[in-house]
Amino acid sequence: MGSVIEIRGATKDYGKSRGVFDLSLEVGQGEVVGFLGANGAGKSVTMRMLMGFVRPRQGSVRIFGRDCFSGRAEIQKSVGYLPGELAFPGDMTAAALLRFTAAMAGIREGNCRCGCARGDELADFFELDVSAHVRSMSKGTRQKVGIVAAFMGRPQLLLLDEPTSGLDLLMQRRFVELVQAEKRRGTTILLSSHLLGEVEGTCDRAVFIRNGHVVYQAQAQELTLDSTLRQLYGPQALNRHWREVPAGNSSSGRTPGGKGGRR
């Protein structure tokens, strides 16, 4: 099985320990990999390097054997990307935005509401009102637009940055069904998340990133909540517990779970 994604020793340093450092990661053809990390761990930086939006200071980042920065125009034709923060024009309707996306991707079909038949099917599946303007949408509704845009071209590779952010439980379940269907189709998927259930339901294996470094890898079915928390936040994360301060003892200056101090 050849590698679709190859990251070798990539460093992108934004200062103050922000970025990624000597990062190496491979994702094989048809593999679904969960990329887990806390907020600020380096997940989105990695996704932006893969999309060719930023260039690593050191190391290499490749998709389909091409350098992601110099070859980004060709690579992006075969990639469906859902960014962690969506920035759509507020004055467009979802339908207009999706038709524009389909046209840019060269998949525009006839009089379809969303630019192509698959876009229409996905919009219906996620109960998306495509007549609404983006500015009036909730975060969850905008997320649905992003999902439809990423999936409607049947890309060979999907890069999904916290894809269920803002979705309710029913839409999260439908998203998992969609990813499972893409997995059966042989699509390669890198899915960044900090949600254990999302990774367990969709991924073959999980790669953990903390403070810009890959720290652990495991098969998805081997993960437990405690082991996931330790890898996301460090081994000390589970050592702090809530301790109720008895009534009348607040003058001691102690705080629940802390070492005390002046209030």
Residue 167 has pLDDT above 50, yes or no: yes
Strands (E) located in 194-261: 205-210, 213-219
Tell me the pLDDT of the chain averaged across its residues.
90
- In angstroms, the CA 233 to CA 237 distance is 6
Measured at the alpha carbon of residue 153, what is the angle toward residues 151 and 154, in degrees to the nearest 5? 70
Average confidence (pLDDT) over 161-179: 94
- In angstroms, the CA 225 to CA 257 distance is 21
In order of 4, 18, 42, 192, 250, the CA distances from 37 in angstroms are 22, 13, 7, 8, 36
Which pLDDT does position 250 carry in this prediction?
58
Owner of token pair 């936040």:
233
Q: In the sheet that 213-219 helps form, which strands lie side by side, from edge to edge?
A: 79-82, 157-161, 188-193, 32-36, 205-210, 213-219
Question: Are 208 and 16 a contacting pair, CB within 8 Å?
Answer: no
Average confidence (pLDDT) over 223-232: 87
Residue 184 has pLDDT above 90, yes or no: yes
Residue 258 has pLDDT above 70, yes or no: no
Which has more pLDDT, 227 or 252? 227
Which pLDDT does position 2 carry in this prediction?
79
Radius of gyration of the chain (CA): 21
Alpha helices in the chain (DSSP H): 43-50, 72-75, 94-105, 117-125, 139-151, 169-185, 196-202, 225-233
Which pLDDT does position 70 carry in this prediction?
96
